Amino acid sequence: MTKQIITLSDRAAIRIKEIMASSKEPSIGVRIGVKSGGCAGMSYVLEYAKTSNSNDEIIEEKGVKVLIDPKAIMYLLGTEMDYKKEELSSTFVFKNPNETERCGCGESFKI
């Protein structure tokens, strides 16, 4: 069996459902990608997905649809997406086994 590109923690799935419910425009799920930038070289991009592209990888887990940009697949293999809520901030956290380095602020990473 091949390993799923990305898995969701229960907290991440619940938070995505909350975000989708409060979205002003209808969307089918969230799209995850990566872009160059940040002090370590790459950063995660998360956005509403209004439609799916023919080459998106689609994962449905825990009642949530996640679309993965094909250019991001090799960077995300085996990643767990979690949601962390702290006193002053809340954010999605990507636990990526492919990372070799992460910047101090946690916004970017290197493979």
Q: CA geometry: angle at 20 spanning 92 and 90, to 5°?
A: 25
Global confidence as pTM: 0.81
Contact in structure between 40 and 53 (CB atoms under 8 Å) = no
Confidence at residue 14, expressed as pLDDT on a 0 to 100 scale: 94
Q: Where are the domains of the chain?
A: 6-110
Predicted confidence (pLDDT) per residue in 17-64, tens digit: 998 888 888 888 999 998 887 666 778 888 889 988 889 999 999 999
Is the domain spanning 6-110 CATH 2.160.10.10? The answer is no
Q: What is the mean pLDDT of residues 95-107?
A: 69
Return the closest-CA partner of residue 81 out of 2, 1, 19.
Answer: 19
Residue recorded with tokens 């290197």: 110
Which conformational region is residue 104 in: left (phi greater than 0), alpha (psi within -120 to 50 degrees), or beta? alpha
Confidence at residue 1, expressed as pLDDT on a 0 to 100 scale: 47
